[in-house]
Amino acid sequence: ARIIAQSMDVELRLVEKPFGQLLGALEAGDVDLVISGLTITPKRNLKVAFVGPYFLSGKSFLTKYKTLAEAKSLKTVEAENVTLTALEGSTSQDLVEQVLPEVKLLPAANYEGALRMLDESQADALVADYPFCFYAVLRHPEKAYVASVSPITYEPLGIAMPGDDPQFINLVTNLVNT
């Protein structure tokens, strides 16, 4: 974001919003672009343009249970005995709802809330982007978190932009590529 603003010779203004409100803010014109670990999906791409991917990720489990962390896919989870949390409005929530509709899912407004659910044993695992899970283990060694060794899905992350300004999209594309 800083590089984009500098290249345009404009002042950067960062806006924090709950994840589930990001694309709505972009569509309403409240923000000029969204850079927030946003997965490029066909459904989202029908509403906004994407530049990227700038990073390749995938879903992972963050949990205190080694057996869940070792799961190679969501389908191997015994859904009737597990409570999961995921960021509200995210592809993690979509994935759990599509693959495990019978699981108890507790959507979280933010990652702090999801981690609190793990800590308070309200959820057995958090489904989130692999880098988040991996770094949560490193940041909180006292909590005995474990994460999947590798992602269980493939997800390209991109910068969401309004689709009505091809020159702006081109500029951001060129900056990401360089």
**Mean of per-residue pLDDT scores for the chain:** 93
Q: Bridge-partner residues for 107, per DSSP? A: 86
Q: What is the pLDDT of residues 94-127, one digit of tens each?
A: 999 999 888 999 999 999 999 999 999 999 999 9
| Torsion sign over Cα 17, 19, 23, 24 | negative
pLDDT tens for each residue of 53-75: 999 999 999 999 998 888 887 77
Distances (CA, A) of 14 to 2, 17, 33, 36, 39: 10, 10, 10, 11, 20
pLDDT tens profile 159-169 = 999 999 999 99
| Cα–Cα nearest to 169, from 53, 54, 49 | 49
pLDDT at 76: 79
Q: What is the pLDDT of residue 127?
A: 96
Average pLDDT over residues 125-152: 94
Per-residue model confidence (pLDDT) at position 169: 97
Cβ burial of 42 (10 Å; 0-12, 13-18, 19+) is exposed
Strand partners, 57: 155
If phi > 0 it is left, if psi is from -120 to 50 it is alpha, else beta; for residue 99 that is alpha
Query: Nearest to residue 92, comparing CAs of 147, 37, 144?
Result: 37
pLDDT, position 37: 87
Q: Is the pLDDT of residue 79 over 80?
A: no
d(C-alpha 48, C-alpha 43), whole Å: 9
Residue 41 three-state SS: coil
Which tokens hold the place of 57? 């990720």
pLDDT in the model for residue 156 = 95
Mean predicted confidence (pLDDT) in 137-166: 94
**Which of 68, 60, 58 has the alpha carbon at shortest distance from 124?**
68
> What is the C-alpha to C-alpha distance for residues 129 and 68, in angstroms, rounded to an integer?
15
- Band of the pLDDT at 78, cuts 50, 70, 90? confident
